[in-house]
Amino acid sequence: MASSSPRVLGVYETVLYASDVVLAVSFYSEVLGLTLIEEPGELSAAFRLDDGGVLLVFDPRRASAPHRPVPSHGATGPGHVAFAL
């Protein structure tokens, strides 16, 4: 590995999928104590983690719909991860 390669400092963003976003919000906020960073909608919810990372929870049916401001996600396969560099 070249010395100029960026060093991964942590996970910046994680996306999970839940068919019931309201139920997911209840679990992640009430059971795990995560802080909502935006009002949840039918499409998604966003939480701030203590290390500064973000957990996004998307409804897979709505996330795969075309012609939205956010590009469609491949909600039937693996999620994605973004590294903080």
What CATH number does residue 51 fall under?
3.10.180.10
C-alpha span between 3 and 19 (Å, rounded): 43
Classify residue 14: in a domain, yes or no. yes
Asked if 16 contacts 36 with a C-beta cutoff of 8 angstroms, the reply is no
Classify residue 5: in a domain, yes or no. no
For residues 9 and 83, which has the higher predicted lDDT (pLDDT)?
9
Classify residue 1: in a domain, yes or no. no
pLDDT tens digits along 23-81 = 999 998 999 888 999 888 888 899 998 888 899 998 888 777 777 776 666 556 556 66
Task: Please give the pLDDT value at position 22.
Answer: 93
Classify residue 45: in a domain, yes or no. yes
Task: Please give the pLDDT value at position 79.
Answer: 60
Residue numbers of the domain that contains 26 = 10-66+80-84
Classify residue 46: in a domain, yes or no. yes
If one counts the domains in the chain, the total is: 1
Q: In b/e form, how buried is each residue of 21-32, taking b as 16+ CB within 10 angstroms?
A: beebbeebeeee
C-alpha span between 24 and 43 (Å, rounded): 12
Classify residue 54: in a domain, yes or no. yes
Mean pLDDT calculated for residue range 9-35 = 88
Classify residue 4: in a domain, yes or no. no
Question: Token pair for residue 27?
Answer: 């679990």
The residue type of 53 is: G
For residues 82 and 30, which has the higher predicted lDDT (pLDDT)?
30
